[in-house]
Structure 1
Amino acid sequence: MNKISRRKFLQISGFAAGATMLPLPMKWLGRRDVFAFYQTPANQLGLFKTKLRGVGPAGIPLATPDGSAGIGGAAHYTFNIGQFTDQLHPALGPTTLWGYNPQNALGVTGVPAQKHLGGIIVANKGVPIQLTFTNNLPNKHILPVDKSANFPDAAQHVNDASVHLHGGFVPWISDGGPMAYFGPPTIANPNGVYGPSVSDGVNPNLFQQVLNSNLDPGQAEYYYPNQQSARMMWYHDHTHDCTRLNAYAGLASVYLIRDTFEGNLRNLGLPDYIENGGFEIPLVIQDKIFVGSNIGLYDPTWPGPRTPGSLWYPHIYEKNRWHKVYSPLRMPAPSAVPEMFGDTMLVNGTVFPEATVEARPYRLRILNVCNARFMNLQLYVDDGSLNGVTLNPVTGNPPPSAAFVDGTQNQPAVLQLGTEGGFLPTPVLVPTNVPFGFDPVTGAPTGSILMGPAERVDLIVDFKNYIGKNVILYSDAPAPFPLGDPRNDYFPQWNTAGNPANALTKNGFGPNTRVLMRFKVKAATSSVAAVSINTATDLSAGNDPLPLPGGAPIIGGALQLPPGVPVRPLTLNEVFDSYGRLLQLLGTNVPTANAFGLGYMDNATEVVNLVNGEKVEIWQIANLTGDTHPIHFHLVNAQLLGRQPFDVVHYNGTPTYIGPARGPDPNETGFKETIRMNPGEVTTVIMRFKFPTVPFTVPNSLNPNLGISGKEYVWHCHILDHEEHDMMRPLVVI
């Protein structure tokens, strides 16, 4: 079917111009016309001018316990949440950020200097930790805040915090849900502000009642049981109405769990841990936009800090940039926007960095922390040009001959061990040089290492073939994903008709969203252990048993689901809000005033009743929108069973399939908790719900909006602008 614009769709569909909530089958609405209209000034930020920030006393602080004990003797950590400045590139002025700062750090005497992404935590399986966070955020946000009727909590206070352990198997009071926020004490609220999930406004909040009766106003307490296998998680802010802004401002960091199984893999050549000085590197990817001295000329209404080097965030909803329908209401200013796409790439809080590595295998733990930008990660040998890679003028791709050839695999592929859910059943080879594209048969997005926001990959990359050379980490995933808009694709002198900003950018400088960083390879300084882990290595013992080992068979093009397991039909929807702005919603298959969508404040529909302590469910989620959504589930890990295309236009609550089902990609066969759900497809997952074992009684949520009493979690899209407007629903487990 030919794709049409939203404007054309409105013309031919006969929708009333005055409607405030219009359901649209977005699968067929064509290219998404969105872009950040202010750009980081061109030719200011040179590539590879700063070193990749490592972990430790000279880099990102590695948190250590404070010496006190939590419940049951749990090691206790203390963190500050505050505002600070950091130098992210030599040519940038100091950037004002929000962030976490551990009060104790490895190799540091006293409180460590605060750094972007500070406070990496390393935990051990089965060994709980407990944490106190103190909110010292100022009353004014460093980014523009939409305080319209769609964002009621932001209208009340912009400096609340809620710390979510993303991927954590935790009691709900330590999940850091949107309504479990806490604010600093003020004259008006000397006891601090606490959200409705944890406070009734009369009794002490649940943090005090359950976990730590000695908390001061403006503090919250969290208990992490760590009853999970080895994996890379992360923790970030999840405050209702401000998650997108707070995470972008810097409230995010890494959380690693170790276990015996992982430790024994070092006998097979797995590089040793970063906390031991081993050859393991966490890589946290972000995209941002920075204020320049020209901000008054190009964005005269910018309400945030105007000091060059400050963070910039889109704050005006302009109809020639984002789709809009008529509304009699005046557009809010500042306004939320559909997605935020930056023009400058950061890794570990440094802009276009360079990392010196030895000619040996490294373990790269990669996390996509972008608000909305997907990755298609590739590795290329630096060709000596100022950009490190030269694009074919016709295809826009680096030449195949530039592909990175892994020193262990002896081919343009690297070994992937795991995802955000821990180790895969067996490692898989993923290519290093496959540009983004679409499968000619299924139409599904393809590439090298596809990553939505919040996804993680665990790779072994062997640099031994490239002593004295450089290797480029590169991505060409379209934004928005998967159809894209060239105005979000930054690379000097490339496609200047599609993105005029590229015509102004000299080679070797930003804006640039394709080149992430460079590895500078030197000779190994010590003996190199061979890696004997390969695609035949059984890693299944390193994780909990999958609900369906081996997955669901596909017979006659259809997924064969296990009998007796309840199936929950759900939907992803896109409509318009009362201001005429795009609005993304989760929902069931029951029609509502908003297609099939429901808002976060509507009563819970995803209510899971445990039987003998657990419950297995299958969720089939139909994507009626034009975007791929990275859907994240709190509390549980999911096993992806398959995806299948369906007729979006005629969807009436029951999908009519128009093509065969296909199973997960090879690197999606293990547990995941953030799963890409493509337009026009039903994505099927199976999940085992249960609670962690903790040495205290966990009360039910106090949140009256749930409509039912139980343990409160959420599920949502991890495109953060979608999540908050309003693609998130309560998940209540009883």
Structure 2
Amino acid sequence: GPDWIQIGHEGGFLPAPAVIGQQPVDWNRDMGTFDFSNVNTFGMFLGSAERADVIVDFSQYAGKTIILYNDAPAPVPAGDPRLDYYTDDVDQTDVGGAPTTLAGYGPNTRTIMQIGVAAGVPAAPYNLAALESAFATQGTTPGAFAASQNQILVPNSSYDTAYNQTFPADSYVRIGDNTLTFTPIGATSPITLPLEPKAIQDEMGEAFDPEYGRMSGKLGLEMQRTVAGAQNFVLYGYDAPPVELITPSIYGSPIGALGDGTQIWKITQNGVDTHAMHFHIFEVQLLNRVAWDNNVRLPDPNELGWKDTVRVNPLQDTIVAFRPVQPTTPFEVPNAVRLIDPTMPEGTVLSGGPNGFTDPLGNPITITNHYVNYGWEYVWHCHILGHEEMDMMHAVAFAAAPRAPTTLTATRLGGSQGIALGWVDASKTETAFVIQRAPDANFTAGVTTFTVGANVATYTDATAVPTTQYFYRVAARNVVGDTATPGFPTRTADSAWSNTATTATGPAVPTAPTGVTATSSIVNRDLNARVSLRWTDTSTTETGFRIQQSTNIGFTANVVTTTVPANAVLFRTANLQRRTNYYFRIQSFNAAGASAWVNAVPFPINTG
């Protein structure tokens, strides 16, 4: 039959048309390779949820009947005869299968479609060269892929014609790699990103339903340090703290720079089935697959570009890169804050996987059912129905940046009480607010940070020095993940900063008066006495003076406190008892505070 000319898949246009010839399914028959028996040759090969936009040229098949035929095993790669239905197949009712399929009836998984091509003079063959030219970037005129798709993350020579550039032939990950170094499109120097270790396990003895023992498939994490003969996985079901967390990228930020959320996942598959892994909310770039013996398996030409579903084969690591960007919306999407297991009461001890819960480092841990912030909760899962329904699905927690607080104000309080801040909470997704204080408007030095909880819109900075001018700004923070369970990852996304608020400096604490003297005089026909205090005013910022008198040196008995206005240098007491010792002291004060006390001389003074 005619070739397939595939121009796109579920992610949009391919970098170049992929011409796929008619080829029966076959398997890797090299027993010396680790991924022996995987399907490795085929025609149009699509896993569950994979899609293909194709052109088929029937011009040279006038008057012919063509059958669209499926010969793929199910499941891939091993196959189960009970899932292979065709005319006159074997009766398999005795082993749980279907009876023989009669001619003209179903079920039939092999003959999918019949196409009758009209007879007549054959048309001219399809112009493949013109199609390829339309996909290639010519000079500064972008081709179909470059014009319609976001730039890929990790370039290689498969994308040369799509961008009219020459990229390295080898930007592939090897089995022992924990990082990938590459030069993004438009960059002048390479960057290095870590590989996030993910795991898939579907073997009966290692991944099963702990409640009933039913066969299951699990997603999880591969531990970075494995040992020979043991692939160390930490498996989690859907009802678990999230371990796939994503921070959105900022539009225009370079890959690998601050504000970039690019991740590269290295998915290790220690199972028996090929899983069509479907990513919600974002698309991925398939970089390569690599068998456990380090044989690199390149993407097929129709797997290039951006995809949302990728086939993950047994005994291979599959490497994908992605860079989600938070969209701009006229409204705010709230966080998904829910119990880990919504079907069970809060506080219930959760069962976990086949051997209970462990943290991401493999340490046993008890987890009770509690509320967790899953952010914008999406999923990644196997698109084989029996697998996704049996727990081969994980939440993907997207840490969306909250909306920035507005209308920040700063008001200096009296004395040394500090500075009161207030703002408008404009977000539904913050888990806290971060306040920064600095002595300069650019926040380049001397920055002090304070944190308050969600839905709080005020704060008093009690540590502010009255004589220093400060600048303040506030950001909303969204922390996603299980913050209550030790060892599990979290991600933080902050809003933009609010407006900057500042206050003028307050007055300095006044200096203390000097030369304080006390003199006594007899009044009221020798029945009483008065004391006159005199001092030198050494300050220009006081708002008054505070004078205390007492009959003991500790000023704890018979204390009388009097204030006099600023600039005063003399004070006379009311009538006092004669022949009594009195202690006097004085201090200056203003809104910033008070000076030290100064004792009057003599100390005490006797009223004679």
TM-score, L = length of structure 1: 0.39
* Structure ranking higher in strand proportion: 2
* Structure ranking higher in helix proportion: 1
Q: Which has the larger radius of gyration?
A: 2
Query: Using CA pairs below 8 Å that are at least 6 residues apart, which structure has the higher relative contact order?
Result: 1
TM-score, L = length of structure 2: 0.47
